[in-house]
Amino acid sequence: MKSILLATAAILALGAASAGEAAAQTKVTFVLNWIAGGDHAPYYYAKKMGWYAQAGIDLDIEQGKGSALAVQKVGAGQAPLGLADMANVLVGKGKGADAVGVFNVYANSPQGMYWLKSSGIKSIKDLAGKKIGNPAADGARTMWPALAKANGIDPNSVTWVNVAPNAKLSALKAKSIDATTSFYNIHHIFKAELGDDMGFLAWRDAGLNPYGNSVIANGAYLKANRKVVADFVRVSQKAFHTCTVTPKPCVEALVEANGALKFDNEMQNWELVTELMSDKFSREVALGIHDDGRMAADYELVKTYIGLDQPFDVKTVYTNEFLDRSVKMPK
């Protein structure tokens, strides 16, 4: 009888411990910049491996509809964490969005412009008078004035056409638009569809290379939940480093969680992502860092070419305090 009572007590204690662990989990919504793809593999891998859960985070990954919308949602406190292009974060901050960059993913701008060579377009200047198609909340629209002015054309000389993310290529091939924008990490898809008729220009090669996607936190949430944000950054930094070294399991986790994706395609996507992640600072200082000098330059770029509703101290829109400086982008 005594042994039965002891066993029962042990089971009850285990149940209480499990309930305590469940109660300790903090639900966190992380809104992506876009629908899930290869560039998001590390988050899904870390979730699959239980790394976020071990850190006390019950993570809900929400599909996105553009950087501009992600900034709006996080900036308004509708989601505590998100992923967005940093130039859009700067513009949003000027409009009052309460958002802070806590981990940089794209050290290089991923933005690219695509067109058909057969259309006669050869450069950015040839886009004047043409139609550019992309989603209404796409971050490229926010940054377009900077690209246009840097290349000597009037930003208002083009017409923007609302096109769904998955309809860009078909619209371009049907010639209902003259050009479209896309991230470099799906460059291989455009190449496969358009072949030798593909015209392409990376924005970073056209005088515009601000920081790209960064994990952002709502400012008020960050102040009240520093440990949660710190743990999310720590786990994500570890995941990104792991996935650069051993990508296959990471991409497999992404595909498992998003059944419509194809492994081979997303593996190519991820390989291009690693190019965008790598710069002097991510390789030599820390993976995920926002360099002070580059951020100051990005602020001036946005202020000069796009404009800010209200100026602010750029150092209030990012922090490197949660990064492990021993974790660096592989050289």
| Rounded alpha-carbon distances, angstroms, from residue 13 to 5, 6, 102 | 12, 10, 39
| Rounded alpha-carbon distances, angstroms, from residue 218 to 30, 34, 183, 225, 276 | 11, 18, 25, 10, 25
Burial of 205 (C-beta count, 10 Å sphere; 0-12/13-18/19+): exposed
Count of domains for the chain = 2
- Please say which residue of 137, 170, 205 terminates a domain: 205
- In angstroms, the CA 14 to CA 22 distance is 12
- The answer to whether residue 183 scores a pLDDT higher than 90 is no
Model confidence at 327, pLDDT cuts 50, 70, 90, reads very high
- The answer to whether residue 267 scores a pLDDT higher than 60 is yes
Instruction: Kindly state whether residue 327 falls inside one of the protein's structural domains.
Output: no
- Please say which residue of 146, 181, 205 terminates a domain: 205
Q: Residue 82's beta-bridge partner residues?
A: 31, 216
Model confidence at 12, pLDDT cuts 50, 70, 90, reads very low
Q: Which residue has the tokens 């993913």?
A: 105
Which amino acid would we find at residue 46?
A
Q: What is the pLDDT of residues 42-70, one digit of tens each?
A: 999 999 999 999 999 999 999 998 899 99
Model confidence at 207, pLDDT cuts 50, 70, 90, reads confident
Domain identity same for 115 and 251: no
- Please say which residue of 156, 179, 205 terminates a domain: 205
Question: What pLDDT does 264 receive?
Answer: 96
Residues in contact with 182: Cβ distance below 8 Å, sequence separation at least 6, in sequence order: 112, 114, 134, 168, 190
Report the CATH number at residue 118: 3.40.190.10
Domain identity same for 125 and 138: yes
- In angstroms, the CA 43 to CA 32 distance is 10
SS3 state at 331 = coil
- In angstroms, the CA 198 to CA 200 distance is 6
Domain identity same for 187 and 306: no
| Best CA proximity match to 188, nearest among 271, 64, 276, 66 | 271
Instruction: Kindly state whether residue 66 falls inside one of the protein's structural domains.
Output: yes
Question: What pLDDT does 6 receive?
Answer: 41
What average pLDDT does the segment 28-49 reach? Answer: 97
Question: What pLDDT does 13 receive?
Answer: 44
Instruction: Kindly state whether residue 100 falls inside one of the protein's structural domains.
Output: yes
Domain identity same for 235 and 101: yes
Domain identity same for 84 and 218: yes
Domain identity same for 215 and 312: yes
- The answer to whether residue 23 scores a pLDDT higher than 70 is no
Question: What pLDDT does 138 receive?
Answer: 82
Q: Residue 99's beta-bridge partner residues?
A: 218
Question: What pLDDT does 18 receive?
Answer: 41
What average pLDDT does the segment 195-211 reach? Answer: 93
Question: What pLDDT does 22 receive?
Answer: 46
Domain identity same for 186 and 221: no
Is the entire prediction scored with pTM above 0.75?
yes
What average pLDDT does the segment 257-279 reach? Answer: 95
What average pLDDT does the segment 231-259 reach? Answer: 98
Domain identity same for 118 and 136: yes
Domain identity same for 221 and 295: yes
Q: What is the pLDDT of residues 73-119, one digit of tens each?
A: 999 999 999 999 999 999 999 999 999 999 999 999 988 999 999 99
- In angstroms, the CA 39 to CA 104 distance is 13
Instruction: Kindly state whether residue 201 falls inside one of the protein's structural domains.
Output: yes
H helices of 151-225, in order, are: 168-173, 187-194, 219-224
| Rounded alpha-carbon distances, angstroms, from residue 251 to 22, 39, 257, 328 | 28, 9, 10, 21
Model confidence at 208, pLDDT cuts 50, 70, 90, reads confident
Domain that holds residue 234: 24-108+211-317
Q: Which residue has the tokens 């896309």?
A: 182
Domain identity same for 219 and 313: yes
**Is 265 in contact with 57 (CB distance < 8 Å)?**
no
Domain identity same for 117 and 104: no
Domain identity same for 45 and 92: yes
Instruction: Kindly state whether residue 179 falls inside one of the protein's structural domains.
Output: yes
